[in-house]
Amino acid sequence: MATETLIRAEHVLTQADFGELYAQVQQFYSHQMQLFDAHEADRWAATFTEDAVFDVPTLDAPVHGRAALAANVSRNLAQQERSGEQLRHWIGMLDIQPGRDDELHTRCYALVYITPRGGPSRVLRVCVMEDVLVRVLGKWHTRHRVVTRDDLA
């Protein structure tokens, strides 16, 4: 099987290369979501490009750029402190399609869990998350994210 290849958008990757890429992207998302859930606003925003677009259904309009991304995380923290609830994000069923140059198109399911202080956790939202990832100085960054909630689709 080592000689099998995946061909996407004029890129040829061996199974081993694709496996390594897949692991890198999973690690990227694990790190990014843990920063988000820990409300590390600046560090989370730094996982996006300077001109990133963040389009999620919990906001009235897409967010543009790192400063606005960090401000959104700070707003989330204040809201969770008032409510006494903790949110956790889980990413799964990740699909990766190599694009041109060092660009990836990803699609995955994002589950948002909510845990009230002293209470049981439950699924709050089930979403589809679609990203364009690019390499910046050898590291993956999100350039564009669109999240669609299943209940609003």
Instruction: Collapse the DSSP code of 121 into the 3-class scheme (helix H, G, I; strand E, B; otherwise coil) and give the result.
Output: coil
pLDDT digits (tens, 9 = 90+) for 28-81: 999 999 999 999 999 999 999 999 999 999 899 999 999 999 999 999 999 999
Q: CA-CA distance, 28 to 63, in Å (whole number)? A: 21
**Counted domains in the chain:** 1
What residue type is assigned to position 65 of the chain? G
The CATH number given to whatever domain includes residue 9 is: 3.10.450.50
Query: What 3-state class would DSSP assign to 68?
Result: helix
Q: Which domain holds residue 99?
A: 5-152
Can you tell me which residue has the tokens 């004029």?
A: 10
How much is the pLDDT for 14? 81
pTM value is 0.88
Please tell me the distance from the alpha carbon of residue 77 to that of residue 39, in angstroms, as a whole number: 6
